[in-house]
Amino acid sequence: DEDDEDDDGVDTNDDDDDADKNRSKKAKLAIDIMKVKKELSDKSKPDVVETKFFPNTMMSTSFSNTQTSTTSMSSRSSTPSTPSKTLPSQSTAPRENHKQQRHPSSLQVEVIASPPAHYRHRCRFQLVEQPHTHVPDCETTLAFAVWENGHPVSLPSPAHFPIACQQIQTLMEKVLHTFNANNSNKACYEETGEDSVNNCSKTNAIDVDVLRKNCEAVHFHTTTTNDALIVLIYSQPIHNEEAWLKAANVCGESWGCFNLIGRCKGKKIVTGNDFVRERFSPKGHRGGSIVLQQPEGAFSNPNPFICERTMEWLISVLQKIKNFSTVDDPDKQEHGTTAPSLLTSSNQLLNVLELYSGAGTYTPLLAQYSDHITSIEINHALVEAAKTNVALNINMDRINTTTTVNVMEAPVERCKHILRDGKHQGVHFNCVMLDPPRAGMDAFTRSCLYCYDHIILLSCAPRHTYPNDLPTLLKTHNIEQAVVLDHFPQTMHMEAGLYLRRKQDR
């Protein structure tokens, strides 16, 4: 809408009324576009946003009153410029081709939105003291605080942190109620767990001040299946472990959370389990639900809703890969090369190399759709968690018995021979999946990906990593499928996923 003239070059200002109407429409459209970033939560009308982290591409996104949207992305051979914003009803194709199908290089980018509230199942809060003048004999009370600009900012109530799931909000209220009992009549619980703050028996009661004293932070970890874990962080050593365990057991029963951990420097005290178990049921998954054990202190996705949608996207990718699975050419293997030949037979083996696998969040899913998977991670605790998760799903018949799964503890830098050769222990890999940390993959890993027919690349910082990765990857591969995942609503952070397939002439 930049021109005021028709295609034949004739000025359209002859009719003043029509011109005024056109200018009014264009002005309204411009205003709508300028306001789009401030109105993404407005469900009353479609919005248009631009995405900038794909180099040499032009994207247009349409958001409607649904959680999933798609974008149209077309490759451009010219010098990259600022992506344009277009309405969903407008076409970026030439007029003479408007009846033809979309350009082969274009694809739909799925945009998956998160619930706007109560989506976070893992939260950490600072405990801060604040004046409390309206409670007799109580000078200060404890409140939960979040960090903003390097300083803790107290929350008036758990309801003022709406991104936390409702289970965490309930636990926050119960913990504060216990910790903020009247100092002149300390919180006591009968050993049966019954609240007896106002009329407690000193001989048969538990003084829960042992939990509150020197506690400087509280971590909550819950699941969609109502499993929960609370971690109390202390600034001073816990001297009386027996008293702490007794108070933790009684309070945990009262709070409805039987897994409590006390942490201070060099010490960890546990009552119950030091992990929670989450269950995912992605649509289209042929293996039933997936059970993941998430240990305390190890990374796990705090947004289980988007994690499950990520699994659904991976299922669609893996099913597409199976339609043109590849195997190594025996002739090329004999000559020492590892570039496999592209085959379209659906019964060929799919061997997956998974890098930066973490606690095995996606390993059981990948194993269900592949013939072999080798998973590599550097962190020992995460490797043990990944092995546990694989064993859990094998025991529950969630993984094909014919699939071989190998979880390795080793940094990617030490596995250069696997990356370079595309094989390990006699298994030739034709698919690689990477879920690197925010800094992205290293240059050596990036340089070795050309020999894999299929690349699945997840990124928690696509604006930073994709401009580094795609110039190299697009020399040998085409983007077949893409998704944007809004793990953290109300923030600028997003995640993205790409499925790239090697060009048949490479």
Answer for the pair 240, 160: CB distance below 8 angstroms, yes or no: no
The predicted pLDDT at position 323 comes to: 78
Comparison of pLDDT for 70 and 434, the residue scoring more: 434
Strand order in the sheet with 122-131: 151-154, 140-148, 122-131, 215-222, 228-234, 260-264, 267-271
Alpha helix positions (H), 180-220: 209-212
Res 329: pLDDT: 41
Whether residue 53 has pLDDT greater than 90: no
φ, ψ dihedrals at 73, nearest 5°: -125, 125
Tell me which of 15-29, 54-68, 98-112, 399-413 is least confident: 54-68
The span from the CA of 36 to the CA of 26, in Å, is: 15
Task: Write the pLDDT tens digit of every residue in 18-39.
Answer: 555 555 554 454 445 444 434 4
Cβ neighbours for 76, distance < 8 A, ≥ 6 positions apart: 56, 57, 58
pLDDT, position 346: 41
- Residue bearing the bigger pLDDT, 369 or 61: 369
Residue 98 has pLDDT above 50, yes or no: no
Residue-level pLDDT at 12? 37
Look up residue 135 and give its two tokens.
């409670």
User: Quick check: 271 and 245 in contact, CB under 8 A?
Assistant: yes
503 vs 2 pLDDT, higher one: 503
Does pLDDT of 54 surpass 70? Answer: no
CA dist., res. 105 & res. 479, Å (int): 8
Distances (CA, A) of 289 to 282, 319, 361, 387, 388: 7, 18, 13, 18, 16
Higher pLDDT, 335 or 322: 322
- Mean pLDDT of all residues in 241-262: 94
- Which residue do the tokens 């988007």 mark? 306
Contacts of 150 by beta carbon, 8 Å cutoff, 6+ apart: none
* Phi and psi based region of residue 272 (left: phi greater than 0; alpha: psi -120 to 50; beta: remaining): left
Residue type (1 letter), 84: S
Query: Is 7's pLDDT higher than 60?
Result: no
Encode pLDDT of 287-307 as tens digits.
789 999 999 988 889 999 999
Q: Is residue 475's pLDDT more than 70?
A: yes
pTM of the model: 0.73
Residue 101 has pLDDT above 70, yes or no: no
DSSP state of 9: -
**Contact in structure between 160 and 143 (CB atoms under 8 Å):** no
Q: What is the pLDDT of residues 158-177, one digit of tens each?
A: 999 999 999 999 999 999 99
Quick: pLDDT tens for 345-367.
344 789 999 999 999 999 999 99
DSSP 163: T
Cα dihedral 232, 236, 241, 243 in deg (nearest 10): -80
Per-residue pLDDT, 81: 36
Residue type, 8: D
Question: Which comes out higher in pLDDT, residue 91 or 250?
Answer: 250
Question: Is pLDDT larger for residue 233 or for residue 12?
Answer: 233
Please, which pLDDT band fits residue 65 given cuts at 50, 70 and 90?
A: very low
Q: Residue 4 pLDDT more than 50?
A: no
**Across-strand partners of 69?**
111
- pLDDT bucket at 47, cuts 50 / 70 / 90: very low
What value does the mean pLDDT take over residues 143-171? 94
Token digits of residue 503:
């060009």
Which whole number is the average pLDDT over 388-400? Answer: 83
Question: In the predicted model, is pLDDT for residue 276 greater than 60?
Answer: yes
Q: Which long-range contacts (CB under 8 A, 24 or more apart) does 333-337 make?
A: 333/428
pLDDT number for residue 174: 95
Could you tell me the pLDDT band of residue 139, with boundaries at 50, 70 and 90? low
* Residue linked to tokens 């795609």: 470
DSSP assignment letter at 282: -
**How far is it, in rounded angstroms, from Cα 36 to Cα 28?**
12
Apex 307 CA angle, 305 and 311, nearest 5: 115
**Residue-averaged pLDDT of the chain:** 76
SS3 69: strand
Q: How far apart are CA 342 and CA 14, in angstroms?
A: 60
